[in-house]
Amino acid sequence: MHIHFKGTRGSIPTAPNASEVSEKVVSALLGARGKDLRSESQIREFVTKVLPFHQGSTFGGNTPCVRVDTGSNDWLIFDGGSGLRVLGNEIMANGLSNQTFHLFMSHFHYDHIQGIPFFTPAYIPGNKIIVHGGHDEMETFLREQMRTPYFPIDFSTFQAEISFVKHAPGDTLEVCDSTITVYKQNHPGDSYGYRVDQGEKSVVYSTDSEHPNIAHGKEYDYLDFIKGTNLLIFDAPYTHSESISTREHWGHSSNVMGVELAARGEVDTLAIFHHDPGASDQDLTDFHAHTKKFLDRSRLAVREAKPGIPGAPSPRSHPFEVIMSYDGLVLTI
């Protein structure tokens, strides 16, 4: 499976301002001093391999949208944030028509639906869009955001065939040559996570979910949902202290909780997702470093807990890797 991240920011789309872009250029030029950069290929290699990510690139600012390519002729998409517009433009640029899109919605807060009116394939006759979710009135929600005075184009302007399928927690369905499992999450108004299994590979899309005290217990069913997955896309815009204080009950989680759950669930790769809209590229780079440091310390603590004692916990090995998702990232599992 190939996982394409089209939007990774939470709450509201963001864009770098002029001074932030200028600062990146200055940092890049300072970093290039003394380097022998004569050709375009040398310059490109310097930017991609030498410069820190936050100086040579950006995490992006589109709101949630992830495509999972399972090799099927149909499209498997999670959430319709502003990143969906980018995906739609790519599809149109490739001249594709008569396509079927399975759009799985975590929930209907605005940052997860605002790309749908700008999804160009929805205006093309012959295309089919099947909207999946766990909420009642899904069609009503999407129609309402395109009514006057909120939007100038009515939902009825879509020319694609659009249908809606409601699922219950625990449901499994066969879509795009894969098995998808539905999980109800803790978020204001509820949200739904999805696990995609294909053969021995799997990915879990789990955004907009808060993990309360019960998450520390042995019987937390979320662990069964993510157990052994190759990739966990995990909502973590907050630090641990934020998640249990000023932003408690906001429906989101922390990097520390992500590492803990990924470790207990034996997840291979943890992808931090739904970044805080107020976080700069430098902030997100620092957040990533803090997350990796916590994982390293957690591994060491387990290793040193009861050395040599029969039955003692084995050294923590999961997750093998923690990454920060960004707009344009493609992962293969």
The pLDDT tens digits of the residues spanning 49-105 come to 999 999 999 999 999 999 999 999 999 999 999 999 999 999 999 999 999 999 999
Neighbours of 307 (CB within 10 A): 8
Residue-level pLDDT at 315: 56
Above 80 in pLDDT, residue 152? yes
Centre a 10 Å sphere on the Cβ of residue 296 and count the other Cβ atoms it contains.
12
Report the candidate in 237, 214, 241 with the shortest Cα–Cα distance to residue 111.
237
Q: Give the per-residue pLDDT at 306.
A: 57
**CATH class of the domain comprising 2-15+58-332:** alpha beta
> Can you name the residues that pair with 164 across neighbouring β-strands?
131
Average pLDDT over residues 257-270: 96
Q: How far is CA 274 from CA 58, 133, 202, 243, 299, in A?
A: 15, 19, 20, 14, 25
The mean predicted confidence, pLDDT, of the chain is 94
Q: What is the pLDDT of residue 305?
A: 62
**Gap between the Cα atoms of 276 and 49, Å rounded:** 26
Contact 230, 251 (CB under 8 A): no
Amino acid at 232: L
Question: What DSSP state is assigned to residue 8?
Answer: -
Amino acid at 115: G
The amino acid sitting at 136 is D
